[in-house]
Amino acid sequence: QVQLVESGGGLVQAGGSLRLSCAASSRSFSRFPMGWFRQTPEKDREFVAAITWNGDSKYYADSVKDRFTISIDSAKTTVYLQMNSLKPEDTAIYYCGVQIYNSGNLERQNVYDYWGQGTQVIVSS
């Protein structure tokens, strides 16, 4: 069974940093692209960042470029999202997803096949 588990969320002041982790339950996922999205009650789930399975290609939303960094561990089972210079508008539930059966633009949530349960990030001003 596919399982993705996010962690690392929390409360931080504006300008601070957090590192989110997304652990896959199996090395079977190690050859598939993964992405981070975020959602608030006011907005649909939006793309944040994505990475190919080998880490060679990374993609970022304009709103987080130069502040967030996506990476993958050497075992290819955990994806990280390092978030620096956080802003109150970064407050959201962050979800990671993996694209196994679908294909296409990694900035679109409908190409991901499985999602984690989400981790809450709150940035205070």
Over the stretch 22-80, which tens digit does the pLDDT of each residue have? 998 876 667 889 999 999 999 999 999 999 988 899 999 999 999 999 999 888 789 99
d(CA 83, CA 80): 9
Token match 């059966």: residue? Answer: 101
Of the chain, the end-to-end C-alpha distance in Å amounts to 40
Q: Under DSSP, is residue 18 helix (H, G, I), strand (E, B) or coil?
A: strand
Q: What is the pLDDT of residue 26?
A: 76
Q: What is the pLDDT of residue 73?
A: 87
CB atoms within 10 A of CB 85: 13
Please give the share of the chain, as a percent, with pLDDT higher than 70: 97
- What the block records as the tokens of 30 is 């190690």
Q: What integer is the mean pLDDT of 88-96?
A: 98
Q: Can you say how many angstroms the Cα of residue 25 is from the centroid of all Cα atoms in its chain?
A: 16
The count of residues in the chain is: 125
User: Which residues are bridge partners to 115 per DSSP?
Assistant: 97
- What the block records as the tokens of 40 is 């608030």
d(CA 27, CA 39): 27
> 75 — phi, psi (to 5°)?
-80, -10
- Whether 123 has a pLDDT exceeding 90, the answer reads yes
| 16 touches 8 (CB < 8 A) | no
pLDDT, the chain, mean: 93
- Whether 8 has a pLDDT exceeding 90, the answer reads yes
